[in-house]
Amino acid sequence: MSASSLHLLVLAAGNSTRLRTGHPKALLDLCGRPLLSYILSHAEPLQVASKTVVLGGNHIQAITSWLQGSEYSDWSIALQENPRGTGHAVQCALEQLPDEGRVLILCGDTPLLRPETLQELVKHGDALMTARVADPSGYGRIQRDDDGNLTAIIEDADTDEETRLINEMNAGVYVLDLAALRAAVAKLDSDNAQGELYLTDAALEVLTERGGATLCLEDGEEEIAGVNTLVDFSEVVAVMRWQILEAHLLAGVIIDDPSSTWVEHDVSIGPGTRIRPGSVLHAGVRVGKDCELGPYVRLRAGAVIEDGALAGNFVEMKNSTLGAGAKAKHLTYLGNTTVEEFANVGCGTITANYDGKKKHPTVIGSRASIGSGTILVAPVKIGAGATTAAGSVVTAGKDVPAGTVVAGIPAKPFSPKS
């Protein structure tokens, strides 16, 4: 199948009823990215055609706003009003999709699904993804004949005592011919336990008529896990968190206690860096090689730790750079700050970067020494090799020249008595 004939539909109209958060499930943050971002990323290696449709419901405005500010392009939004099941969802989305080709249908709440699995699925043309699980409760069951051929997809609400025992479940991932799908969903009725229009009925018709395949993940319970409740979410978080940590460990990052270390998506860390327990690294952080972090360091968006630098216990950084070989070892906040190479930031230092309206920069020059308990009121610059005495308050605009010593509140040049 050529890439030009494959389109993407993401079903993201969930109203968070079971999550109980009041916010769109598709935008629930998972390790620094919303669920929807993972789903869209799954399909990127497939190089689908330019038509990507995201189906939204009551939260469509929030989803649209996020998409507009995201890295993704060539998408359109479809609206499902008064939802009447997954078949109705596809009916609403088909208005935005081309007449011909195939469509890859993904659920908006399965962030652990691997791109490699999708690549294998689309090789089969019209296809359905299934998985064998220990407990299929809540999921549709896959019914086969004695020869292993697909005969039915039975929604959980419609199972009987016998079909409830089937451990092969519907993963909710399909590749279907668009023309055949249009014809099938047009004939759907709601004669079922939930009184809804089932996509499974239409998918079964397309797959049966066109000789479609199934891709069964024999150990796929973790990969196809969906987020329906916050209990589900916590389980997915645990898996994703370990996947991220494992990738860093395999790349040469020393993590003393993975169980207490939080590293989000889109964090780069150089080999030889050691992360002590209790540390938190948010999305967008960049750390060089041979650094030391923590324990209990918090690096927020825009934090950059250059090679050989040290950010120690209870240090927080945001939109700041700690230069090569520089140290901030204890109880320090660096916001909108550039600390140049081999500077030393003493315990309890605070960069007061916010004046109530705007945030301002602080620059600490190379090999400068910031005494314990210093407050640097931005905008301000501490020159190369300069020193602030313990407890100093350097006020905004009162830059400290290179090589000088200041002390006091407000800080002034210091000349020791002879």
DSSP string across 150-163:
EEEEE-GGG--TTG
Q: What is the DSSP letter of 346?
A: -
Q: Is the pLDDT of residue 318 over 60?
A: yes
Give the model confidence (pLDDT) of 274-315 as tens digits: 999 999 999 999 999 999 999 999 999 999 999 999 999 999
End-to-end CA distance of the chain: 86
Neighbours of 3 (CB within 10 A): 10
Reported as half-sphere exposure (CB side, CA atoms, 13 A), residue 296 has a value of 6
Alpha carbon of residue 216 to chain centroid: 26
Q: How confident is the model at residue 16 (pLDDT cuts 50, 70, 90)?
A: confident
> What pLDDT score was predicted for residue 418?
39
CATH classification number, 3-228, choose in 3.30.2130.10, 2.40.30.40, 3.80.10.10, 3.90.550.10: 3.90.550.10
Q: Bridge partners of 53?
A: 9, 76
* Whole-number pLDDT of residue 219: 83
Active site residues: 330
d(CA 49, CA 43): 11
In which band, very low, low, confident or very high, does the pLDDT at 119 lie, cut at 50, 70 and 90? very high
Q: What's CA 364's distance to the chain center, in Å?
A: 33
**Residue 2 pLDDT exceeds 60:** no
| Domain boundaries of the chain, sorted by first residue | 3-228, 231-413
- Distance CA(359)–CA(61), nearest Å, equals 30
Angle between helices 199-210 and 86-94 (to 10 degrees): 70
Give the span between the Cα atoms of 389 and 368, in whole angstroms. 11
Residue 140: alpha-carbon gap to chain centroid: 27
> What is the pLDDT at residue 3?
46
Query: Does residue 331 surpass a pLDDT of 70?
Result: yes
**Average model confidence (pLDDT) across the chain:** 94
Residue predicted with more confidence, 50 or 378: 378
Domains 3-228 and 231-413 share a fold: no
| Cα–Cα distances in angstroms (integers) from residue 405 to residues 11, 122, 399, 418, in the given order | 62, 67, 12, 16
Q: How far is CA 212 from CA 93, 208, 327, in A?
A: 22, 6, 61
pLDDT at 51: 78
Report the predicted TM-score, pTM, of the whole model to 2 decimal places. 0.92
Give the CATH number of domain 231-413: 2.160.10.10
Distance CA 114, CA 209 (A): 28
Angle 302-402-335 from CA coordinates, rounded to 5°: 20
